[in-house]
Chains A and B, each alone.
Chain A
Amino acid sequence: MRTKMKQNTIEKKISEEKESKENTFKRIVNWFISNLKFLFIPFSRYETLVEKEYDYEKTISKRLFIRRLKSPLTMIGILIVFSIVTIAVFQDWLTLYPREWFINQVYSGAFDPPSAKYPLGQTDLGYDVFSRLIFGARTSLTIALPAILFSVVFGVIIGIIAAYYSGPLDAIIMRIMDIMMAFPALILAMVLINIFGQKMEYIMLAYGLLGIPFYARLIRGSVLQAKSLPYVDSARVAGASNLRIMFRHILPNVIQPIIISFTFDIGGIILSLAGLSFLGFHDPTLIEWGFDINKAAGRIADAPWASFWPGIMIVITVLGFMLVGDGLRDALDPRLKNL
C-alpha cells in the first residue's frame, strides 16, 4: 500500500515535472512570439491591448524601443551588419579561390583590370581582389570585437571603482587615464604593436588597452552622478555590500551610454585598424582591407580597382555599425520618450 502510494507520488512528480518543463518551454515560446513579433510584423500590437490599457502602459517603453529601431536607416544598418557578419562566417563558400591561394604565392598579372576570372581585378601579387574583400570581413570583425569588449569590460570596472571609492584612488586612476588620453592614440598603437609584435592577438590587446580610458571616463561621470541618488543610499541601508551596490545597483543604471557608444566604436575601431594596417602595422598572415589599400596606393593612377574596392568595404562596414549606433541612440534616448 505504502509503496504503491509512493509510486503514485513519484509518477505524479514525474508527470508534473514533465508538465512544468513543457510549460516552461511553452512560456518561452510564448514570450518569444509575444515580444519579438513586433520586430518582424509591422504595426503589430498586443491583441488584448485596447481593452486592457492597464497592461498597455507597462509595455509601452519596450514597444517604443523596438518601434524606434524600425526606422528605415536603422534597418539598413542592421542589414549591413548582418550581411558583413554572414560574409565573415561563410567566407569559404563565397570566395572564388580558397584561402590557401593567398599565402606565400605569386601569380601572373599584377594589377590587371577586372576580367571574367577576376571580377574585380587583381592585386600586386596577382591575387583576386574580390576574394580578398570577402576574407577581409572576418579579419576586421575578429580584431575589432574582442578589442572593444576588452576595453569596455576593463574600462567599466576601472571607471566604477574610481568613481565609487573616489579620493586618492580615483585621483591616481584618473591621472593615468589622462596620460593615456593625452598620448596620441595612433602613435601609442603603433608603438605598442611594435613592442608586442605584429600578431593579431597583440594588435587586439593594443587596441583594447587604448580604449580603456575612454570608457572609464564615460562611466565615471555617470557613476559620480548616480552615486548621490537615493536608490544607492537605500541599497546601503538595506545592507548591500559595496560590490553589490556597484555592479547590481549602479551599473544597470549607467550602462546605457556605454551601449550606445559601444556600437559607434565598433565602427571607429574598424576604421582605426584600417588606418594602422594602411601604415603597415598589421598581421602579415591576415588579409586586411587597409593593407590591401597600402599595397595598391602607389598604383592608384592606373589600377584604381585594387584600392577602390577594399575602401568601399571599409566604408560600408563602418557605416553599418554607425547606422545601428544612431538607431540605438534614438531608441534609447530618454529625452525623446516623453512628449
Chain B
Amino acid sequence: MEDIESRNIANLEMETDKKKILEVKNLKTYFYTEEGVVKAVDGVSFNMYEDEVLGLVGETGCGKSVTALSILQLVRAPGEIEEGEVIFKNVDLLTLKKKKMRDYRGKDITMIFQDPLNSLNPVMTVGTQVKEVFELHQREEIYELLDQKMLEWKNKQNRIKELEKKLEDNETNQRLTKEEISDIKNEIEKLEEETRDRPTYRSILREKSRKILEEVGIPDPEEILERYPHELSGGMRQRVMISMALSCNPSILIADEPTTALDVTIQAQILDLMKDLKNEYKTSVLMITHDLGVIAEICDRVAVMYSGNIVEYATATNLFKNPRHPYTKGLISAIPTLDKKKKELDTIRGSVPNLIYPPEGCRFHPRCDYRLEVCDKVRPLLTQIGESYFVACHLFDPQYKDSPKYEWGKEELERTRKI
C-alpha cells in the first residue's frame, strides 16, 4: 500500500514547460473531535505552476478549504496536519518553525476568504488593516524608500536655496533677464509645492496603501482608507481583501470561494479583476470554489476533490471536454442549462459521506452508477491515463479491466435516492 502511494505521487507531473512553484504531497489533515477523527483531508497531492490558475472544486465539506488552510498552516484547534509535504521554492513549509512560517504568510503565499465582512476587523479602519501588511513584510523596503525620498527632498530643498540665492545676487548685480527671473520664480514655486510635506514613514505607508487600493479599482481610495469595513459594500470589501493579499506581490494567492458571498454582477467584476491582477502581478492562483462556471472562466488546471481526496486532476479544457471520473461527470451534468430543460435536474444521488467513518475502498462507490465489484474493497489512486490527465478510478485502471460491474439492487437505489 505504502509504495503504491509513493509511486502515485512521484508520477504526478504535468507536461508543461512552466516552473513548478508549489508541490503538495500526500497532505493529511485530521480533526480530533469528540465524535472521532474527522479525516477532512486524506492524502491530497497536486502541483501548482508559475503564472497559472489551479481550480480546486468539490461539494461543500469535501475538504477544499481545509486543504488551503493547511498550506498556510492556519487550521484551527481540533484540526492537525498529520503528514505530508508542502514544498514551496524547495522549502517544505510544514517543517518550518512558527516564526519562519509567519514570514511566508501574507508575503509569498496570501489568502482571501469567502465572507469579506467577517474577514475584516470591524473595529479597525480599512487603512490600518491594509497598512499592516506593508508594516509586517516591507519594513526594510519602506525605510529604503524613505531614505531615497529624503535624499530627493533634501536635494530639492537645496535647489530652492540655490535659486533663492541667485535671486538675491541678482538684486545687487542685475545680471538676469526678466524671463530668467520669472523662470526661476516658477521653479521655486513648483519645488516648494513638492516639498511642502516632509516624507515620513507614515506618509509612505499611506501612499503605498492608496496605490494598492487604486490598483484593485477602488474609486476615491483616500476616503476609503479612513472608513470602517461595515461602511463599505460587499464588492468593495472583497476588493480591499484582494488589495491586502496582493500588496506584497505574492507568488501564490489562495482564493477561498472569493465570490460566493457576493451578488452575481459583482462576482463577475471580482473575477475579471482577479484575472487582470493575476496577469499583471504574475501570481499563481489557487482558486477554491464549488462553482464550475468560475472554474471554466478562470482556471488553467482543475483538481476535483471528493471526500478528502483528489479524484481527478487535469487541464481545464480536457476536463470539461471529456470528464472521466463518474463524480466529475455527475458534477458537470448537474449544471442547469437551457437546452436540457428536463423534468428533473441531473443530480448525484445520495449525499457527501461522513468523514469519520468514510466508505471503504473508493469513497464515491455508494453513489456511483458505474460501480465495479472491486470498488468497495480497494481504494483507487491517482494515476495517469493520458497527457496531463490523472484520475483516481478503477474504471480506468487496466488492472481491473475484467472486474465485473456491480449490480445495484432496487432497494439500495431507493434508499440512497431518499437521502
Contact = CB atoms under 8 A, between A and B. Distances in A.
State yes or no: do A and B touch (Cβ within 8 Å).
yes
Given A53-B354, A56-B354, A57-B354, A68 B34 contact: yes
A67 B35 CA distance: 9
B419 interface: yes
Interface in A94-118: none
Given A54-B419, A64-B35, A67-B34, A339 B354 contact: no
B34 A64 contact: yes
A56 B34 CA distance: 14
A79 to B, nearest CB: 21
Interface residues of A, number: 11
Interface in B75-103: 76, 78-79
Interface string B355-393: 001000000000000000000000000000000000000
Nearest to A49: B357
A50 interface: yes
A60 interface: yes
Contacts of A50: 357
Contacts of B76: 339
A68 B35 CA distance: 10
A173 B357 CA distance: 53
B6 interface: no
Contacts, number: 22
A63 B40 CA distance: 21
B38 A339 contact: yes
B117 to A, nearest CB: 17
Interface in A41-66: 50, 53-54, 56-57, 60, 63-64
Nearest to B38: A339
Contacts of A68: 34
Interface in B22-49: 31, 33-35, 38, 40
B411 to A, nearest CB: 14
A18 B243 CA distance: 74
Interface string B398-419: 0000000000000000000001
B143 to A, nearest CB: 42
A72 to B, nearest CB: 14
Contacts of B38: 339
Interface string A274-301: 0000000000000000000000000000
Contacts of B78: 339
A222 B340 CA distance: 45
B31 A339 contact: yes
A74 to B, nearest CB: 13
A60 B40 CA distance: 17
A271 B339 CA distance: 72
A53 B350 CA distance: 13
Given A53-B357, A56-B354, A339 B35 contact: no
22 contacts: A50-B357, A53-B353, A53-B354, A53-B357, A54-B419, A56-B354, A56-B357, A57-B354, A60-B35, A63-B35, A64-B34, A64-B35, A67-B34, A67-B35, A68-B34, A339-B31, A339-B33, A339-B38, A339-B40, A339-B76, A339-B78, A339-B79
Cβ-closest 5 pairs across A and B: A53-B354, A67-B34, A53-B357, A339-B31, A50-B357
Interface of A: 50, 53-54, 56-57, 60, 63-64, 67-68, 339
Interface of B: 31, 33-35, 38, 40, 76, 78-79, 353-354, 357, 419
Given A50-B357, A339-B76, A339-B79, 10 more contacts: A53-B354, A60-B35, A63-B35, A67-B34, A68-B34, A339-B31, A339-B33, A339-B38, A339-B40, A339-B78
